[in-house]
């Protein structure tokens, strides 16, 4: 894949999208905040093939790993999902960046730490799973994490100084000058933020808001695999192993029809996880 030359107006992590219709260009001026431009999807999918796939592979893969691999593949094949709006402009990320929170232990008192994973658009399941397992293990073993250290440093300042500093950082982000040292640790600078509520036993999941700061255009909550009723084409309502996920999207990055097709593709990969073992032969180049 040929590397694109950086142009005036591009950011470190993304290229400016220049070929947009007039309505799409004006929308960020009408809906200025990401959280005010949200749309919501909730789906329940058949999880039988995920269970079967993990068992046939001797539990080499995890439920969450398959989910992240399906999300990575969907973003790669539906590249508008990897866009964001900042400074009233649309940008296309160069890589797929996923953030989530990992607990150091499954207790109420356990400290949470942020994990941020970066993939190229040709990542397959093995790469996603290996990177996930390695980073989660490191995060749980660390006595502290860099994000927490940075936050502690900021909160030592008086309120008026902290407000000035945050405004200055947001101003830098608005103009595409966000410091790389902060970008590398900031979980809100990502393609999608994922919360695995199934890990704490939730079957039905809530919608999560988007963050107005940062560049995250997608938030996904996933639930625990459980027995539920699902409509199967040609069979009607059937009790099966199912999983629920809820998606919050910034509608400014694309259109409703594109999002619906993307959700359908995501469901396809969740129900056919074996497809994720191979790298895609080709993905759309939307840079």
Per mean pLDDT, which range of 69-73, 100-104, 207-211 is the poorest? Answer: 100-104
The whole-angstrom separation of Cα 58 and Cα 128 is 17
pTM: 0.90
Cβ atoms of residues 220 and 193 within 8 Å: yes
Q: Using the predicted structure, report yes or no on whether residue 253 has a pLDDT greater than 50.
A: yes
**What's the pLDDT at 230?**
86
Using pLDDT thresholds of 50, 70 and 90, give the confidence band for residue 6: confident
What Cα–Cα distance (Å) separates residue 26 from each residue in 19, 90, 165, 171? 13, 11, 30, 21
Q: How many whole angstroms from its chain centre is CA 160?
A: 33
CATH topology of domain 19-142+188-277: Chloramphenicol Acetyltransferase (3.30.559)
Residue showing tokens 């996880």: 273
Query: Closest by alpha carbon to 189, among 166, 168, 216, 211?
Result: 216
What Cα–Cα distance (Å) separates residue 41 from each residue in 98, 207, 225, 254? 19, 8, 18, 15
Quick one: residue 220, left, alpha or beta (phi over 0 = left, psi -120 to 50 = alpha)?
beta
The whole-angstrom separation of Cα 48 and Cα 29 is 45
- For the record, the structure tokens of 222 come out as 């996933």
- For the record, the structure tokens of 86 come out as 């900042």
Cβ atoms of residues 208 and 8 within 8 Å: no
- For the record, the structure tokens of 48 come out as 């039988």
**What's the pLDDT at 138?**
66
């Amino acid at each position: 894949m040929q590397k694109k030359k950086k142009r005036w107006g591009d950011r470190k992590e993304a290229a400016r999208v220049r070929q947009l219709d007039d309505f799409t260009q004006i929308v960020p001026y009408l809906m200025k905040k990401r959280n005010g431009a949200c749309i919501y999807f909730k789906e329940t999918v058949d999880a039988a093939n995920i269970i079967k796939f993990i068992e046939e592979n001797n539990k080499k893969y995890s439920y969450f790993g398959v989910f992240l691999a399906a999300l990575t593949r969907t973003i790669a094949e539906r590249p508008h999902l990897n866009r964001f709006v900042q400074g009233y402009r649309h940008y296309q990320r160069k890589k797929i960046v996923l953030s989530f929170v990992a607990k150091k232990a499954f207790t109420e008192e356990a400290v949470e730490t942020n994990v941020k994973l970066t993939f190229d658009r040709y990542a397959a399941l093995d790469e996603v799973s290996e990177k996930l397992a390695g980073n989660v293990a490191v995060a749980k073993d660390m006595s502290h994490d860099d994000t927490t250290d940075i936050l502690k440093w900021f909160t030592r300042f008086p309120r008026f100084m902290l407000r000035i500093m945050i405004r200055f950082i947001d101003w830098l982000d608005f103009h595409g000058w966000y410091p790389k040292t902060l970008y590398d640790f900031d979980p809100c600078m990502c393609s999608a933020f994922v919360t695995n509520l199934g890990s704490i036993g939730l079957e039905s999941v809530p919608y999560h808001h988007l963050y107005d700061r940062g560049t995250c255009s997608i938030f996904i909550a996933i639930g625990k695999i459980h027995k539920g009723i699902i409509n199967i084409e040609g069979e009607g309502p059937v009790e099966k192993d199912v999983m629920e996920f809820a998606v919050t999207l910034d509608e400014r990055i694309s259109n409703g029809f594109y999002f619906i097709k993307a959700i359908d593709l995501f469901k396809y990969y969740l129900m056919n996880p074996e497809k994720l073992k191979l790298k895609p032969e080709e993905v759309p180049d939307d840079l």
